[in-house]
Each structure stands twice: as C-alpha cells, then as structure tokens.
C-alpha cells in the first residue's frame, strides 16, 4: 500500500476514534443528547459515565497507537477497539439509530484495516 494511503488511513482512524471520545464524553455529561427516549435519572447518568470511563481510554489508545507502534500487541489493541465499535454498531441498528450504527460501523472497518496494516 502506498505511504499516502497509509497516512490517510491512520488519520481517518484517529478522527473516528476522536469521534468516539466526543460521543462518550457527551453521553457522560448529557445522556439525553444521545438517548432521547427518556434518558434521565441517576441510573442512566451512572451507566453513561461507566461507558465513558471505558470508551475514552480505548478510543484514545486506538487513535494514537498506529503512530507509535507496530506489531501484534498494537494490532490486537486496534482489533479490540474494532470489536467494541462493532457492538456499538449492532446496538445502534437495534435502536434504529443511523448515527450510531453508521459511525460505529465506519470505525469498525477503519480500525480493522489499520490493525492489519500495523500487524
């Protein structure tokens, strides 16, 4: 693969991962912004914050690892991020939320491609 294509994929990977960070932070601060069907109360806020506590570090790792390392372990980190995004996409499909489904599916594909490239 050409160097320009690899750089574009790495940057796209970082942008999609940053989108995951922003979504997780938004969900933690205002759950109703992402789940409008009655997302209120202490329980919803608790679970949104738990999700963000896991999603933010994973997305940050997915964003930067291709620029820092290659090999099996970084590739596995990206595959873990891809799996997480695939589950988010499935949840989005189940909720009939095209924003969540499409964004997460795109991140799944790009994380997987980059994982293969750096492996």
- What does 48-104 look like in DSSP terms, one character per residue? HHHHHHHHHHHHHHHHHHHHH--SHHHHHHHHHHHHHHHHHHHHHHHTT-HHHHHHH
Q: What is the structure's pLDDT at 42?
A: 75
Q: What is the structure's pLDDT at 38?
A: 63
Q: What is the structure's pLDDT at 36?
A: 62
- What does 26-37 look like in DSSP terms, one character per residue? HHHH-HHHH-TT
Task: Give the separation between CA 35 and CA 18, rounded to whole angstroms.
Answer: 20
30-62 per-position pLDDT tens digit = 887 776 666 667 778 888 899 999 999 999 999
Q: What is the structure's pLDDT at 32?
A: 79
12-36 per-position pLDDT tens digit = 999 999 999 999 999 899 887 776 6
User: Closest Cα to residue 87, out of 55, 113, 56?
Assistant: 55
Task: Give the separation between CA 71 and CA 79, rounded to whole angstroms.
Answer: 12
């Amino acid at each position: 693969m050409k160097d320009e294509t690899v750089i574009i994929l790495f940057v796209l990977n970082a942008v999609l991962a940053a989108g995951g960070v922003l979504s997780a932070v938004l969900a933690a601060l205002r759950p109703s912004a992402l789940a409008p069907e009655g997302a209120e109360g202490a329980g919803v806020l608790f679970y949104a914050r738990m999700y963000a506590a896991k999603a933010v570090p994973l997305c940050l790792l997915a964003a930067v690892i291709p620029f820092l390392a290659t090999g099996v372990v970084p590739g596995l980190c990206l595959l873990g991020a891809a799996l997480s995004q695939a589950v988010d996409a499935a949840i989005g499909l189940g909720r009939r939320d095209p924003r969540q489904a499409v964004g997460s599916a795109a991140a799944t594909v790009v994380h997987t491609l980059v994982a293969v490239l750096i492996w």
